[in-house]
Amino acid sequence: MTQTDTPKLVFDTDWSYAPAPETVPVQIDDRYGLFIDGQFVEPGDGKYFDTINPANRQRLAEVAEAGKADVDKAVKAARKAYDNVWSKMPARDRGKYLYRIARILQERAREFAVIESMDGGKAIRESRDVDIPLAAAHFFYYAGWADKLDYAFPGKVPDSLGVVGQVIPWNFPLLMAAWKIAPALACGNTVVLKPAETTPLTALKLAELIRDAELPPGVVNIVTGAGATGAAIMSHPDVDKVAFTGSTEVGKAILKSIAGTSKKYTMELGGKAANLIFEDAPIDQAVEGIINGIFFNQGHVCCAGSRLFVQESVADIVIRKLQDRMQTLIVGDPLDKNTDIGAINSKPQLEKIEYYLKVGQEEGAKMWQPTCSVPDSGFFCKPTLFLDASQSHRVVQEEIFGPVLAIQTFRTVEEGIAKANNTPYGLSGGVWTDKGSKIFKVTSKIRAGVIWANTYNKFDPGSPFGGYKESGMGREGGLHGLKEYVSLN
Ligand code: NAD
């Protein structure tokens, strides 16, 4: 090698880590009923469905499918608890219950992390280090607000809303439940929540925890089922507010179903976030951030940085460094502590991602994947780049919700901003540059609810989160999230 040669990374494909599986024992029952009025009950028409481990397709448990009558029972229990107990309880005592839930969750964090990874497919590093600690942090945060609502909204009299119906998706099952339940309860509302049909287990474990925390019966009701169960909750006439997180398509259907009613609503919907890397950016830091932004949680992240715009002068080096880093990613057993990318959540989701991989190539983008191996036991997908993508490509415009990154270039700041804004979504984004003035300019011009600068996917219970355009309305987290669960007089 001469002195002018750049050293090239050499990857030995036979080299691998020894297996390091998470070994905390967990208790998963064979069958779960519906959590209504403080106890687990059988569904009215006796129907159950399986929830499986997407890493090996094995059945984990049988879960109740709630029909309309079950949803009605849950709403009635929530109404009774609201009228007789929760809305009358001193706010300080509501806070104590929330602190209790937070503490028990923290104590049982490992167990919840393992079940989250088994049921949803996400790498244990994420459920252990992100999902569960953040879920506990949300309960702690909103516990603190319960008896301080008068200070949260100075000059106003905050009043609870009543019964809240909440429906959540499968990408952050326990965290989404915490985002929904904690602020609702802190403000004095009671809840009927439905987790996604592919990831019901941590919500059901949370129901057990809530029972163990001796929360008054009916304050939190957790019913399981698919879209029809969700629709029954959202359209129930005795639900005062609906809070939904999921796809834009379903969000629109829910909005239609509640049009003309007095229900309040918040909608946290889809995304197609852009990351912009400028030529003055710290490139290695940016590459790590891009990897974290799209491959974290298999790309099953509403705010995933699924579009990358790189300033033309640094495009070659950024792409090469991205490919080098992707070559080191480990796709495998979600319960292994070395795994970077776990299992895709379900067969239909894997099929959807594979469909888009085909579409992207047919449209003319160049597909690139690392040479890593992928287990054949379940639903797995290699991290994927689409190079030479263009604005009109469907892989650039549509939400894939998988580990797929479409890359384009830009020359000027204005061009970068215009390309980033060319999307029906507006949930999140990222900007990578050494210049503070550029950060202010770009972040103020990108139409998205959350924009990170020189970092990505950072969350805190005190920060609001939510979208512009087709990414939704309303905010979750922080004071903004609290405001969604009160009426201010
Ligand atoms: P989805 O819309 O298919 O399902 C979400 C939930 O809605 C599930 O519990 C499902 O059973 C239920 N549901 C389905 N049809 C329904 C209906 N007609 N009425 C009421 N409920 C119904 O979404 P998904 O595939 O589970 O989740 C992925 C989507 O969620 C992506 O679009 C992602 O961007 C979005 N998401 C958004 C955020 C955010 O904060 N903006 C966070 C996480 C996920």
Q: For residue 6, what pLDDT is reported?
A: 46
Which of 250, 266, 306 for a ligand 1 pocket mutation test, highest count of atoms within 8 Å of Cβ? 250
Q: For residue 15, what pLDDT is reported?
A: 62
The closest of 386, 404, 420 to 311, measured between CA atoms, is 420
354 is an active site residue: no
- The answer to whether residue 53 scores a pLDDT higher than 50 is yes
Q: Report the distance separating Cα 67 and Cα 191, nearest Å.
A: 17
User: Could you tell me if 420 and 394 are in contact, meaning their C-beta atoms sit under 8 angstroms apart?
Assistant: no
Which of 122, 170, 302 for a ligand 1 pocket mutation test, highest count of atoms within 8 Å of Cβ? 302
pLDDT tens for 466-475 read 999 999 999 9
Task: Check 65, 197, 302, 470 and give the catalytic one.
Answer: 302
- The answer to whether residue 340 scores a pLDDT higher than 60 is yes
pLDDT tens for 1-34 read 334 444 455 454 556 788 898 989 999 999 999 9
- The answer to whether residue 293 scores a pLDDT higher than 80 is yes
Residue spans of the domains in the chain: they are 31-269+471-488, 274-461
Q: Which atom number of ligand 1 is nearest to the Cα of residue 179?
A: 40
Mean pLDDT across the chain: 96
Q: Report the distance separating Cα 480 and Cα 475, nearest Å.
A: 6
Q: For residue 168, what pLDDT is reported?
A: 98
What's the gap in Å between 195 CA and the centre of ligand 1? 10
Q: For residue 197, what pLDDT is reported?
A: 98
Q: Any residues with CB less than 8 A from the CB of 3 and at least 6 apart, and which?
A: none
- The answer to whether residue 104 scores a pLDDT higher than 50 is yes
Percent of the chain with pLDDT over 90: 95
Task: Check 116, 268, 470, 476 and give the catalytic one.
Answer: 268
Q: Is 402 in the pocket of ligand 1 (CB under 6 A)?
A: no
pLDDT tens for 127-181 read 999 999 999 999 999 999 999 999 999 999 999 999 999 999 999 999 999 999 9
Q: What is the 3-state secondary structure (H, E, C) of 110-154?
A: HHHHHHHHHHHCCCHHHHHHHHHHHHHHHHHHHHHHHHHHHHHCC
Q: How many CB atoms lie within 10 A of CB 404?
A: 24
| CATH architecture of structural domain 274-461 | 3-Layer(aba) Sandwich (3.40)
Q: Is 171 in the pocket of ligand 1 (CB under 6 A)?
A: yes
Q: For residue 3, what pLDDT is reported?
A: 40
- The answer to whether residue 346 scores a pLDDT higher than 80 is yes
Q: Which atom number of ligand 1 is nearest to the Cα of residue 268?
A: 41
- The answer to whether residue 290 scores a pLDDT higher than 80 is yes
pLDDT tens for 415-438 read 999 999 999 999 999 999 999 999
DSSP string, 363-376: HTPEEE-------S
The domain defined by 31-269+471-488 folds into Aldehyde Dehydrogenase; Chain A, domain 1 (3.40.605)
Q: Which atom number of ligand 1 is nearest to the Cα of residue 249?
A: 2
Q: For residue 14, what pLDDT is reported?
A: 54
Give the residue-averaged pLDDT of 343-361: 98
- In eight-state DSSP terms, residue 82 is I
Q: Is 254 in the pocket of ligand 1 (CB under 6 A)?
A: yes
What's the gap in Å between 168 CA and the centre of ligand 1? 6
DSSP string, 169-226: -SSSHHHHHHHHHHHHHHTT-EEEEE--TT--HHHHHHHHHHHHTTPPTTSEEE---S
Q: Which atom number of ligand 1 is nearest to the Cα of residue 250?
A: 2
Q: For residue 4, what pLDDT is reported?
A: 41
The closest residue, in CA terms, to atom 30 on ligand 1 is 246
Give the residue-averaged pLDDT of 90-111: 98
Q: Is 250 in the pocket of ligand 1 (CB under 6 A)?
A: yes
Q: Which of 10-14, 236-240, 241-245, 309-313 has the lowest mean pLDDT?
A: 10-14
Q: Is 203 in the pocket of ligand 1 (CB under 6 A)?
A: no
Q: For residue 17, what pLDDT is reported?
A: 83
The pLDDT-based confidence of 444 (bands split at 50, 70, 90) is very high
Q: For residue 481, what pLDDT is reported?
A: 97
C-alpha triplet 141, 144, 145: angle, nearest 5° = 95
484 is an active site residue: no
Q: For residue 69, what pLDDT is reported?
A: 98
Tell me if domain 31-269+471-488 and domain 274-461 are identical in fold. Answer: no
The closest residue, in CA terms, to atom 16 on ligand 1 is 227
